[in-house]
Structure 1
């Protein structure tokens, strides 16, 4: 079923009858998809402030206004066309397809660490589009510096054709820096830092491994540094952990559970081994106890899959950032390769198939997980 959706009346209220349609800077792009609702976002340029350094060099920094429209009373599993400008051009057009109410096969894509090498990122996006996913999850570090609007300009330029037709769910990485731009540009469930959504009987949970963006004061000594950081984030992460337990309990009948976080629980890098061990210690057996099938993360720029007591821990961070060497092998490691890639997850009735594909479309490995009983 296909329907045409006109947004002109909403735009008149937003911009006024006398104002010409503005040129879109970012978007349009799709957020918060459901079975009967969706959100469409886009941004327009409103000014160009400047900043001058002591040598007299002037830098222009664009300011944008962010727009979003929440759409309700849509039909499940239905394709709509939309036009946020309705001016006779293709600039504001796209399509959205609501999620099905019934349990039906679908696929989604996981990618991560797209923050640099935009030419590589563009090639990965082109391959992703060939799979025609219902949605995308980026496992964090979407950009190099979340507080630099120039980085977001590059990100949306690379993804514009993908995001105008496909919902895009981001994960907070350390390079997002808890930036206000992140929360302005994306419209996400829950508190936007960690959230969940469902498609059919599959549960998708996005976690935040980063916490609040704060700086350690200069007067804090090395002796007290670790205690400073533990105390700064302990309450936040404990609250998030309690939230996760509740979400998993509420959705215990879900056939598939996929969890996404930026930092890994198992790292194939020597210099990140200790950090991964701390992360595992914090979460404990929560993923095994709730029979989570797959935990996706980014941060380590390569592909790595480890398994422990039925849970696949997959590092997928090959969407553009410079690749990292694999210099440490864990007993849990099943596959590790230094390559640009993405994961196409095909969710079927009784199983999910993870097709790990490199930037040229070659298969790295295929992983099968069974539906939870």
Structure 2
């Protein structure tokens, strides 16, 4: 058979095998993660196609070389093997790329699948100065006290199971609401639960006991006496993706701030897909020494709140004081004379990057009341996507027209925090009688990127210093509140994963 025919056979087989394999791969990607963006699908298809094509072309070059080399040609088995070899080369190339694409994530999840217990972890209640929720996964027998505070008598414990038919696989979660606590106080608690099979085989006792501690929040000035000022510190972390990415370096840095911060706020996407239990096992496996001792607040993101099933899993696992869970995971809390507002821009998994009418009406009411309340000094907004994202003049077509007019009308809104884009960006908008910071802080663990501007239809790098564009980071906010009740400094610091200061700014200095 001539060289042209062999080339044709090899080329056709290359194209057919490549198309079939890559269509299957892309189909798998889209169904595995239904909120994957179109450009991400195309990018994955290109990555998974280009290398096999290169390998296949090498095979064709070898075939052509042997056509003109009689010695090798006599040993060559025939045209049929061109198809077989080409197919195997493409298949091996795709397998290698799949391993590179999913291998690290799979190994990370496998490491935590059987290794660690789920919880305990802390979730704030509607009264965070006097109570806390401790949640864990395990068996609960009638009449037993699995959670106890050490050295404390005057407190109440309400224990119940956490169940929701809408949360497909959330089973066996227990919740202890500890109330009657003193503000600004360190507590130590023990959790007693049944041992795993392996632990039981090593030690025949039925239960194991673990000890942790937590610190209650400071009360606002109105509830305190003889105090001239107070400090509140918290961390803001966006897009951890801890269900499939290693956040060990971040955890090490958080431990350095552990004794100094009162709570942690996450801006969504704590896992890559909240529909699957393996992601949460990995999240709790990595974060167990943090979430068991520092209360955390959770916003919904596209990866953990975009679908209804994922949304209900997230909000069942983290039962925060939601206003109306059926319309969205939004709520607010007053912490030391500041209003913290947490928004759900995915609306209980029903609307993408928008705010529904119920949430909009509630938000306007909350901000208006806080603006009139002389005891509220500042307002902070937390959400996954925000009105301004990548560049100063680029406004979100759905969120911008709703949120920015509110922010312009209410001068107490000092900072709007968002994530979604895995990078760092600050923008200050001057509204005449006040200025508001818009901060994108999405470098909590997911792969850093600029993101694609779907509003402008082209790539746009962040308008910030080069070294700060694509870097894993988190933020620490320190509030210094004076007894005059109308003055407060807001210190904002961005740290990289080596605890180096990337950016610093003070409001009210």
Q: TM-score range by the shorter chain?
A: 0.7 to 0.9
Name structure 2 gaps, 5 residues minimum: 1-114, 141-167, 195-204, 222-229, 452-458, 482-487
Runs of 4+ in 1 over 3 A off after TM superposition: 61-64, 86-92, 116-120, 333-336
Residue in 2 that maps onto 1:237:
356
Give the Cα–Cα distance (whole angstroms) in 2 for the partners of residues 140 and 94 of structure 1. Answer: 26
Give the Cα–Cα distance (whole angstroms) in 1 for the partners of residues 424 and 508 of structure 2. Answer: 22
Alignment of 1:251 with 2:370, yes or no, is: yes
Q: 2:347 aligns with which of 171, 187, 211?
A: 211
Larger RCO: 1 or 2 (CA < 8 Å, sep 6+): 1
- Return the index of the structure with the highest Cα Rg: 2
Residue in 2 that maps onto 1:128:
254
Give the Cα–Cα distance (whole angstroms) in 1 for the partners of residues 381 and 210 of structure 2. Answer: 33
Residue in 2 that maps onto 1:81:
188
Residue in 2 that maps onto 1:341:
473
Q: How far does residue 120 in structure 1 lie from its aligned partner after superposition?
A: 4.1
Q: How far does residue 62 in structure 1 lie from its aligned partner after superposition?
A: 7.7
CA contact (8 A) 1:140 1:172 kept: yes
Alignment of 1:141 with 2:269, yes or no, is: yes
Q: How far does residue 90 in structure 1 lie from its aligned partner after superposition?
A: 7.4
TM-score, normalisation: structure 1? 0.76
> CA RMSD of the aligned region, Å?
3.0
Q: In the comparison of the two structures, how many residue pairs are matched?
A: 314
CA contact (8 A) 2:243 2:283 kept: no
Q: How far does residue 323 in structure 1 lie from its aligned partner after superposition?
A: 0.9
1:88-107 alignment, distance < 5 Å: 92-103=210-221, 104-107=230-233
User: SS in structure 2 opposite 1:110?
Assistant: strand
Residue in 1 that maps onto 2:399:
279
Residue in 2 that maps onto 1:223:
none
- Give 1 or 2: higher helix fraction: 2
Q: How far does residue 294 in structure 1 lie from its aligned partner after superposition?
A: 0.6
Give the Cα–Cα distance (whole angstroms) in 1 for the partners of residues 497 and 410 of structure 2. Answer: 34
Give the Cα–Cα distance (whole angstroms) in 2 for the partners of residues 273 and 85 of structure 1. Answer: 52
CA contact (8 A) 1:344 1:354 kept: yes
Residue in 2 that maps onto 1:5:
none
Name structure 1 gaps, 5 residues minimum: 1-22, 47-60, 215-228
The Cα offsets for residues 219-252 of structure 1, whole Å up to 9 and x where unpaired, read as xxxxxxxxxx79xx98x61211111111112223
Give the Cα–Cα distance (whole angstroms) in 1 for the partners of residues 119 and 179 of structure 2. Answer: 20
- Relative distance call for 1:244 and 1:317 in structure 2 (3 A) is same
Residue in 2 that maps onto 1:201:
337
TM-score, normalisation: structure 2? 0.57
Give the Cα–Cα distance (whole angstroms) in 1 for the partners of residues 441 and 403 of structure 2. Answer: 20
- Relative distance call for 1:279 and 1:102 in structure 2 (3 A) is closer
Residue in 1 that maps onto 2:282:
154
User: SS in structure 2 opposite 1:158?
Assistant: helix
User: SS in structure 2 opposite 1:300?
Assistant: coil
Residue in 2 that maps onto 1:168:
296
- Give 1 or 2: higher strand fraction: 1
Q: How far does residue 264 in structure 1 lie from its aligned partner after superposition?
A: 2.6
Q: How far does residue 269 in structure 1 lie from its aligned partner after superposition?
A: 7.2
Give the Cα–Cα distance (whole angstroms) in 2 for the partners of residues 64 and 24 of structure 1. Answer: 17
Alignment of 1:37 with 2:131, yes or no, is: yes
User: SS in structure 2 opposite 1:251?
Assistant: helix
Q: How far does residue 63 in structure 1 lie from its aligned partner after superposition?
A: 6.2
- Relative distance call for 1:368 and 1:63 in structure 2 (3 A) is closer
Residue in 1 that maps onto 2:225:
none
Residue in 1 that maps onto 2:238:
112
The Cα offsets for residues 91-126 of structure 1, whole Å up to 9 and x where unpaired, read as 542212111124420210000111158554221122
Alignment of 1:260 with 2:382, yes or no, is: yes
Q: How far does residue 290 in structure 1 lie from its aligned partner after superposition?
A: 1.5
1:306-345 alignment, distance < 5 Å: 306-309=427-430, 310-325=435-450, 327-328=459-460, 337-345=469-477
Q: How far does residue 148 in structure 1 lie from its aligned partner after superposition?
A: 0.6
- Relative distance call for 1:334 and 1:198 in structure 2 (3 A) is farther
